[in-house]
Every structure is written in structure tokens, then in C-alpha cells.
Amino acid sequence: MANNNPGFATLAVHAGAQPDPTTGARATPIYQTTAYVFENADHAAALFGLKQFGNIYTRIMNPTQGVLEERVAALEGGAAGLAVASGHAAQMLVFHTLMQPGDNFVAAKKLYGGSINQFGHAFKNFGWQVRWADTDNPDSFAAEIDDRTRAIFIESLANPGGTFVDIAAIAEVARRHGLPLIVDNTMASPYLVRPLEHGADIVVHSATKFLGGHGNSMGGVIVDGGTFDWSQSDKFPTLSQPRSEYSNVVLHETFGNMAFAIACRVLGLRDLGPAIAPMNAFLLLTGIETLPLRMQRHCDNALKVAHWLKSHEKVAWVRYAGLADDPNHALQQRYAPKGAGAVFTFGVKGGYEAGKALVEGLQLFSHLANIGDTRSLVIHPASTTHAQLTPEQQTAAGAGPDVVRLSVGIEDPDDIIADLAQALSKT
């Protein structure tokens, strides 16, 4: 690009992509292949020995995937990216790179219910332990850290409550203890928040949500901020010690500020195998081209809907950081002045049963377990996404019995409000 510092919308369309050198195709092709022909035996050996970059096998990398990785890394302001099969896969590879059996990490209590389950149950099989802290109290993260702690994990915009987190304050805790801060930026997207600018070291996304934006493809992305010194201590041997499977290469020494992304690819993705399909990478790339347009419309619509709900007689409360009187409004203005996102929660008078009845009465909204679609979506977390949690955990996660979560789409806002009105009239 002629401009050495292109704007966000330009990066969303162009970052990582060039016309296909063979055909001239302007759209990034779908490279639907499992493997790639080597130039000769020396070329193959160099690729397998990490002495040269290039394609070997689509489980590890693919040209369509490569464009997606470069684009998301550019939008986040990171050094390198890795695209994988889902957001959960991204989290698994991040912790696989950081953790050894017996290690622990500190995570925010307010998280997507699937992440709470993954951290609290599935990760136990790897010998990894999670400790929970309160994002409203950064010191609570410090209180959980010991000599086996390897990372801190938060969401920039917490799911399902739609509350913004003071990233910089928690980043300071991480820095004091020599730990990387991992931020799930799925709900905000880099259009609203760029966590690396506030002290994060690693960003993860469920690209299935706002990045893709159309509810048609699964994917996850890891962005390496290139900011963490993996050799400052012996806590991260995967990056700071020789790797016998690669002729004793020290990844941080060899790859510098891209070392974490490289490690996730050549150790985690190579052996655990959650590869993204080339078709899904293509669909996500297409969605990202309109990310800034969609996110602004999402935010504008959500603010109108939140204002309307706040005045409705059957609504007990509304939590949307874009509302001037919301307790989270100051953080929203600090971290995401362009808008408060598309996802928020409210409580229906009548509790659990009334929440379920509202969901069942909606017609324009789709009742499903996703967010970030062009369509308006709804769910009752206590009976679905957070049903596996105890009542105390549900409340801590912002998913109590009366909570309804909306992911406001890009339809005409009057139609969205009309659907909520008719459904509320029946509760």
C-alpha cells in the first residue's frame, strides 16, 4: 500500500492480500489442498527444520489462512497471527504453549460460559489449574498468583454482560509479576478496542463472531503482540529452551517478537491439529472487509434498543455500557469511544420463567448460541450457555436467572424494537 500507515478500514480490506501471482485473481483464492510440492530435498529439509518459511501441510499452514492471519494481526497492531479452527482451539493452543502440568493461570470470573467450562474442566486433563479473580478489583488477580502461575486471562468486553474491563490496570499486575496478559477481544473486535495498546501481550478471538460477522463459518485467531520477553525467566521453557525436535532451536532467540505465534503453530497446531478449513478462512476474510461498517451499525442499533428497554415497564434493569448512567460507562468511554458493542443483558420482571418466555416469543430475533451475526440474536444464558454453572457462578458471570442476552444485529432498529415490544407484551 502506498500509505505506510493505512487506516483501519483500509487494513480490513487489504491487509495481507495481493492479487494471485499466477491467475491475477483479486479476491484471495481458496487454496483447497492438503499439501505442497517442495522445490527439492534441500528445500524440504529447510522447511521442516524451521530454517525457511513456507507451506508444508495444511494442518500447519495454508495460503488462504495466511492472509487471514496477517489481516487480523494488522488490525490488532500485533507482530504475527495464527488462525485455527475455533476460538476454543485458539485458547487451547495459547495455554499449551505457556503451561506445563501443575502450572496455573488466573482468569476473570466474568467470561463466556464455554471458556469457564474449558478452563475449569477440560484443562484439568492437561494438569492445568485455573484460579478466578474479579475484574472490578485488579488486586484480586495479584492475590491468586504464585510461583507456578504462567498467565492472566481476561475478556476486553465481558460476555454475556457486555461490561468493559480495565485492561491497563490488570496489565500492570501482569507486568509486576512477569506474566503475559491474554485478552479475548471477541466481543469488542479491534474496531472498538485494541488490547495490545493497553498492555496486553496476546490477543485471542473467536473469529466465528464479529470478525466473520455472518454466522456462516467457524474460526479462531491468536495474535502475538511481540511485547513479552519470554527469556526473562525460566517460566516459559517452550520458548526459552532448546527444542530437540527442531535441532535444538531456541524459538524466542530465533524468531524474536514472533516467537509465541511460531511456537503455537509449530508445536501446538502441528501436534494437536485444530486446523482451520481454507473455505472458512476465506469466508472470515470476506466478512472482515466490512467489519468497521458492521460494528458501527451494531453499536448504534444496540444503544437505541437499550434506551427503549430501559423505559419499559416489564424490564427490571438494563446493563449496557453505552448508557450514560451505566456503572461501566466511564470505562467504555476510555477504551471504546466509538461504541459499546452489540451485546448486552437485561432482566425481565418475573425472573427465570419470564426470561424464557420472552425468548420464545421473539420472531425477528433468532434464538441461538452465538453472537456477532448480522442478524439480531437472543438467548437466556441461565438455561443454555451457562446452565452447567452453579447459581453462584452464574451470578458471578453476569448470567443470573432473569438475564436475557441480546446480540443486536444490523437490521432497521425500529423493527428490532417492535419485535421486543410484542414479545414483552406476552410475558
Which of 287, 310, 345 is where one domain is finished? 287
State whether 367 and 247 are in the same domain: no
**Boundary of a domain, candidates 256, 287, 318:** 287
Mean pLDDT of 371-397: 85
Mean pLDDT of 215-239: 97
- Answer yes or no: is 320 within a domain: yes
| Under 8 Å between Cβ of 184 and 153 | yes
Shared domain for 200 and 313, answered yes or no, is no
Domain at 387, CATH number: 3.90.1150.10
Q: What's the whole-number mean pLDDT along residues 196-205?
A: 98
Q: Which residues share a beta bridge with 105? A: 130
pLDDT tens across 115-154, in order? 999 999 999 999 999 999 999 999 999 999 999 999 999 9
The predicted model scores a pTM of 0.95
Look at residue 392 and tell me whether its pLDDT is greater than 90. no
Quick one: pLDDT at residue 2?
62
Q: Using an 8 Å Cβ cutoff, are 297 and 213 in contact? A: no
Query: Which pLDDT score is estimated for 152?
Result: 98
Pair 330, 215 in one domain: no
Task: Provide the angle, in degrees to the nearest 10, between the axes of the packed helices 413-424 and 291-310.
Answer: 40
Report yes or no on 110 lying in a domain.
yes
> What residue numbers bound the domain in which 53 lies?
8-287
Residue 164 sits at φ, ψ, to 5 deg, of: -80, 150
Task: Tell me how many domains the chain contains.
Answer: 2
Cell (9 digits) for 82: 495464527
Say whether both 47 and 115 belong to one domain: yes
Please give the Cα distance from 75 to 330 (Å, whole number).
Answer: 24
pLDDT in tens, 265-324: 999 999 999 999 999 999 999 999 999 999 999 999 999 999 999 999 999 999 999 999
Are residues 406 and 325 part of one domain? yes
pLDDT at 159: 85
- The residue among 292, 254, 243, 199 whose CA lies nearest residue 97 is 243
Task: Kindly state the cell numbers that stand for 79.
Answer: 507482530
* pLDDT surpassing 80 at residue 209: yes
User: Is 130 found in the same domain as 13?
Assistant: yes
Q: How confident is the model at residue 389 (pLDDT cuts 50, 70, 90)?
A: confident
**CATH (domain of 63):** 3.40.640.10
Exposure on the CB side of residue 394, measured as CA atoms within 13 A: 19
Same domain, 374 and 393: yes
Residue 197 DSSP label: G
pLDDT tens-place string over residues 415-426: 999 999 999 999
Boundary (domain end) residue, out of 264, 287, 310: 287
Same domain as 371, residue 312? yes
52 and 171 belong to one structural domain? yes
Residues 220 and 233 occupy one common structural domain = yes
